Chains A and B, each alone.
Chain A
Amino acid sequence: MRILRTGILTESMPEAGAWPQREIERLHDDILRILGRALTIREVDAGSCNGCELEIHALNNPAYNIEGRGIKFVASPRHADMLLVTGPVTKNMENAVRIAYDCTPDPKLVVAVGDCGCTGGLFGESYASCGRVSNVIPVDVTIPGCPPPPLDLLRGILTAIGKQK
Chain B
Amino acid sequence: MQLLDETIAFTLQSGVGAPVWFGRAADGEELRRFAAAARRFDGRMAAIWGSDERQRDGGFRLHCVFGLNQGHAWVSLDLPVDAPAYPDLADIFPAANRMQRATRDMVGIATTGGDQRPWLRHGAWPADWYPLRHDAAQLASERGDFPNAPSDYDFVRVGGEGAHEIPVGPIHAGIIEPGHFRFSVIGEKVLRLEQRLGYQHKGVEKLFIGMDLAAGARLVGRISGDSTCAYAWAYASAVEAACGVAPSLRALMLRALMLERERVANHLGDLGALGNDAALAFGFTQFMHLKELWLRLNARLFGHRFMMDRIVPGGVALDLEAPALAAIIEQCDYIGREVATLRTIYDEHAGLQDRFLTTGAIDADLARELSLTGMGARATGIIFDGRAYRQGFTPPPPYRMLGVRPATDDRGDVAARVAVRFNEIFESLRLQREIVVSLPDDELRADLAPVAGGAGLGVIEGWRGEVLVGVALDAAGKLARVHPHDPSWQAWPALEHAVMQDIVPDFPLINKSFNLSYSGVDL
Residues of A at the B interface (CB closer than 8 Å) are 2, 5-6, 9, 12-15, 43-58, 60-63, 73, 75-76, 87-88, 90-96, 100, 121-124, 126-129, 146-147, 149
B174: interface (CB < 8 Å) = yes
Residues of chain B within 8 A of A45, CB atoms compared: 171, 175-178, 200
The answer to whether A44 touches B206, judged by C-beta atoms less than 8 angstroms apart, is no
A91 to B145, CA, bound (A): 13
A50-B226 contact given A58-B295, A96-B178, CB 8 Å threshold: yes
Known: A54-B306, A123-B207, A127-B146. A2 touches B349 (CB 8 A): yes
Q: Say whether B203 contacts A127, CB under 8 Å.
A: yes
Asked if B171 contacts A123 (CB within 8 A), the reply is no
In the complex where A90-B201, A90-B202 touch, is A63 in contact with B289 (Cβ < 8 A)?
yes
Nearest chain-B residue to A19 (Cβ)? B296
Alpha-carbon distance between A91 and B203 when the two chains are bound, in angstroms: 10
Q: Which residue of A lies closest to B287 (CB)?
A: A61
Q: Which residue of A lies closest to B205 (CB)?
A: A128
For B175, give its contact among A43, A126, A149 (CB under 8 Å).
Answer: A43
From B171, B225, B282, give the contact of A50 (CB < 8 A): B225
Is A63 a contact partner of B292 (Cβ separation < 8 A)?
yes
**A15–B293 CB distance below 8 A:** yes
Contact B125 A122 (CB under 8 A): no
19 further A-B pairs in the complex, CB-CB below 8 A; given A88-B202, A90-B200: A9-B342, A43-B175, A44-B171, A49-B223, A51-B308, A57-B175, A61-B289, A62-B288, A87-B200, A90-B199, A90-B522, A92-B199, A96-B171, A96-B178, A122-B218, A122-B222, A126-B202, A126-B203, A127-B206
B131 to A, closest residue via Cβ: A127
List residues of B (30-63) whose CB comes within 8 Å of A's CBs: none
Interface residues of B in 136-188 (CB under 8 A from A): 136, 140, 146, 148, 150, 170-171, 173-178
Of A123, A128, A129, A149, the contact of B305 (CB 8 Å cutoff): A149
When distances are taken between beta carbons in the complex, the residues of chain A under 8 Å from B342 are 9
Q: How far is the CA of A51 from the CA of B226 in the complex (A)?
A: 6
Residues of B close to A61: CB separation below 8 A:
285, 288-289, 291-292
Which of the listed residues B223, B226, B285, B308 has the most CB atoms from chain A within 10 Å of its own CB?
Answer: B285
12 contacts between A and B (CB under 8 A): A48-B519, A53-B175, A54-B225, A76-B173, A91-B122, A91-B201, A93-B200, A96-B170, A122-B207, A123-B203, A126-B206, A128-B131
Residue in A closest to B299 when the chains form the complex, CB atoms: A149
**9 cross-chain pairs, A with B, having the tightest CB-CB distances, nearest first:** A51-B225, A128-B203, A91-B124, A61-B288, A75-B173, A49-B225, A126-B203, A50-B225, A92-B122
A122, chain B: closest CB distance, angstroms: 5
Tell me if B334 counts as interface (CB < 8 A to partner A).
yes
Asked if A53 and B207 sit within 8 Å, CB to CB, the answer is no
Residues of A close to B171: CB separation below 8 A? 44-45, 96, 100
Assuming the contacts A61-B291, A122-B207, A123-B207, asked whether A94 and B200 have C-beta atoms less than 8 A apart, the reply is no
B2 an interface residue at 8 Å Cβ cutoff? no
Q: Does B198 contact A (CB under 8 A)?
A: yes
Closest CB in chain B relative to A146 CB, distance in Å: 7
| Interface assignment of B517: CB less than 8 Å from any CB of chain A | yes
C-alpha spacing A147/B308, complex, angstroms: 10
A50 touches B170 (CB 8 A): no
Task: Assess whether B423 is interfacial by the CB under 8 Å rule.
Answer: no
Chain B residues in 8 Å Cβ range of A58: 288, 291-292, 295
Is the Cβ of A47 less than 8 Å from the Cβ of B200? yes
Contacts of B122 in A (CB 8 A): 91-92
CA–CA, A15 and B305, complex, Å: 17
Residue from the list A15, A49, A121, A124 in contact with B519, Cβ < 8 A: A49
Query: How many Å from the CB of A57 to the closest CB on chain B?
Result: 6
Q: Which chain B residues (338-356) contact chain A, with CB distance < 8 Å?
A: 338, 341-342, 345, 348-349
Please tell me which one of the listed residues A12, A14, A62, A91 contacts residue B285 in the complex, with CB atoms under 8 A apart.
A62
- State whether A2 and B173 are in contact (beta carbons under 8 Å apart), knowing that A49-B519, A123-B207, A126-B203 are contacts in the complex: no
Residue of B with least CB distance to A129: B202
A43 cross-chain contacts in B, Cβ below 8 A:
175
CB of B76 to closest CB in A, whole Å: 26
Given known A-B contacts A52-B225, A54-B225, A127-B140, A6 and B174 have beta carbons under 8 A apart = no
Q: Does B490 contact A (CB under 8 A)?
A: no
Give chain B residues whose Cβ lies under 8 Å from the Cβ of A12: 338
> How distant is A51 from chain B, measured CB to nearest CB, in Å?
2
Please give, as numbers and ranges, the residues of chain A lying within 8 Å of B224 by CB-CB distance.
49-50
A109 CB, nearest partner CB in chain B, Å: 17
Chain A residue at minimal CB-CB distance from B288: A61
- Counting CB contacts under 8 A, is B325 at the interface? no
Q: Which residues of B contact A124 (CB under 8 A)?
A: 207
Which of the listed residues B223, B299, B305 has the most CB atoms from chain A within 10 Å of its own CB? Answer: B305
Within 8 A of A (CB), among B316-334: 334
- Is B269 interfacial (CB 8 A cutoff)? yes
Please measure, in the bound complex, the distance between the C-alpha atom of A62 and the C-alpha atom of B289, giving whole angstroms: 6
Min distance, Cβ B480 to any Cβ of chain A, angstroms:
18
B residues 204-218 touching A (CB-CB < 8 Å): 204, 206-207, 218
Tell me the bound Cα distance from A123 to B222 in angstroms.
10
Minimum C-beta distance from A62 to chain B (A): 5
Contact assessment for A50 and B177 in the assembled complex, using a CB-CB cutoff below 8 Å? yes
CA distance A137 to B342 in the complex (A): 44
Q: Please indicate the chain A residues that have their CB under 8 angstroms from the CB of B177 in the complex.
A: 45, 48, 50, 53
CA distance A121 to B305 in the complex (A): 19
